[in-house]
Structure 1
Amino acid sequence: MPVSPSSSAQAARERVAQRLRELRADAGITGSELASRCGWSHPKTYRIENARTPPTPEDIRRWCAACGADDQAPDVIAQSHNAESMYVEWRRKVRAGLRHLQDSYVQLYRSTSLFRVYSPTLVPGLLQTEGYARALLSANARLLDIPDDAAQAAAARLERSKVIHEPGHRFVLLIEEGVLNYQLGDADAMAAQLGYLLTAGALPSVSLGIIPAATRERALWPQELFHMYDDTLVSVELLSARVTVTQPSEIALYLKAFEQLRTMAVYGAEARALVVKAIDALR
């Protein structure tokens, strides 16, 4: 995909920088004059105005005061906070534990009518069994060097995933065939997970597509794992962080990519055959 998944966050930072730059221009003062009034160096003004350094709330209050625009500070602080929250490091997100992270998505799930998920490496969380989820979350805890509450987190993930049985929701889920062969947990846990894919993939509200490894002339190369919630939000999962995409143009790009990936997938009996093949390979 030609656009970085963190570009929405950077674009939001740049809008904050532009607003601060416009406040200074409207006040008719130079960058050096603003720096003097704020009590910092001119390079700091340059870095803030060019979105190189995110301003703190105190920086914004000083900036607005220097421009005679104290009343603008609360709005700019809120805008800056929203920009910084678009790119959330996993370590910061899981300070309260992996269980808390699972619970934090419940309201979003309940308010979403159409889920679109593409995963090149993992069974989507909505279709994970407890053993598979526990193995995955425990591995995450070790990687992030945080307390391992994977058992509680896995139980919360399964509770959250009950949304697939609730009316008013549809799920279009795409995975690469390799997902079926990347073993998490022991063979029994993986076999249970693959077996559940056969069951869940047959639910009326679920469309499970699998892109075969043998696909020739792919319409699009494998992408990063992403979730689309209706047509208003995309969540991209990176190794170190989660990126929230809200710009309509970027959401449209992810939708275009999803539709191209979807054309390469197999469904129904063909998809089930790939799952059965993976189960047989465990024996």
Structure 2
Amino acid sequence: MYLELRRYVASLKRFQDVFREIWNDTTNFRIYEPGLIPGIFQTREYALEVLRMTGERLHLADYEAAADARMARQEILFRGAKRFVVVIEEQALRTRVGDRAVMVGQLDKLLNVSSLSNVSLGIIPTGAERLAWWSEGFWIYDVRQVMVETRTAQLTINQPAEVAVYADVFDRLQRSSLRGKPAMELISSAIAAI
């Protein structure tokens, strides 16, 4: 399914609420984001900056309500039955969103949420050997659906063969990533650089 954002998204907040059902129905999330911290881990201040830019592109001004909705959805992190396997590129740690305080707060939150027992965070260092090329970010919901958000559209992929391709790419990205203490050191290094 192809959903053209400019044509179908009349409210950033309502667009955030669209995800509530699939989030509630999903047990295993696999998330890849190349340049930004995933929404599930964002601070309100970081989310405000991201959603403000999106709102400007789509000519929508309700980014504060959308940020509140995104923060409310984060309670799902604390439901024991949900598992989040996340891979980000090192660039996501270093892409400046907001001012220094926003970035330090965001990276500090990333350190904290990565210690949750239901979260596995992998970071692909800039100089890592690649097993898959970076792409647009994507989210895999269990084994049934993938969502990819481009600058102009949201793609919902539910054909099993195509979902399997994304699962394979995710596995390769994950194998290129650092986890545990080495990943935390990359975050700490990014904080120190700020």
TM score, norm. by length of structure 1? 0.67
Larger radius of gyration: 1
Could you report, residue by residue, the CA deviation over 1:40-73 in whole angstroms, capped at 9, with x for unpaired residues? xxxxxxxxxxxxxxxxxxxxxxxxxxxxxxxxxx
1:269 to 175, 181, 188: 181
CA, structure 1 residues 161+92, in 2 after alignment: closer, same or farther (shift >3 Å)? Answer: farther
Q: State the partner residue of 1:149.
A: 62
- Report how far residue 93 of structure 1 moved: 3.4
Higher relative contact order (CA 8 A, sep 6+): 2
Say yes or no: does 1:127 pair with 2:41.
yes
Identify unmatched segments of 5+ residues in structure 2: none
2: CA distance, partners of 1:258 / 1:105:
21
2: CA distance, partners of 1:187 / 1:152:
23
The 5 A counterparts of 1:1-283 are: 86-95=1-10, 97-146=11-60, 148-216=61-129, 218-282=130-194
2: CA distance, partners of 1:90 / 1:238:
9
Could you say what secondary structure the match of 1:203 adopts?
Answer: coil
2: CA distance, partners of 1:256 / 1:212:
20
Could you say what secondary structure the match of 1:161 adopts?
Answer: helix
TM superposition outliers: structure 1 runs of 4+ over 2 Å = none
Structure having the higher strand fraction is 2
How many residue pairs get aligned? The number is: 194
CA RMSD of aligned residues (A): 0.8
Could you say what secondary structure the match of 1:172 adopts?
Answer: strand
Could you report, residue by residue, the CA deviation over 1:69-97 in whole angstroms, capped at 9, with x for unpaired residues? xxxxxxxxxxxxxxxxx1001123321x1
One-letter amino acid of the counterpart of residue 43, structure 2: T
2: CA distance, partners of 1:157 / 1:221:
28
Could you say what secondary structure the match of 1:213 adopts?
Answer: coil
- Report how far residue 224 of structure 1 moved: 1.5
2: CA distance, partners of 1:111 / 1:222:
28
Q: Identity, % of aligned pairs? A: 39
Could you say what secondary structure the match of 2:22 adopts?
Answer: helix
TM score, norm. by length of structure 2? 0.98
Could you say what secondary structure the match of 1:221 adopts?
Answer: coil
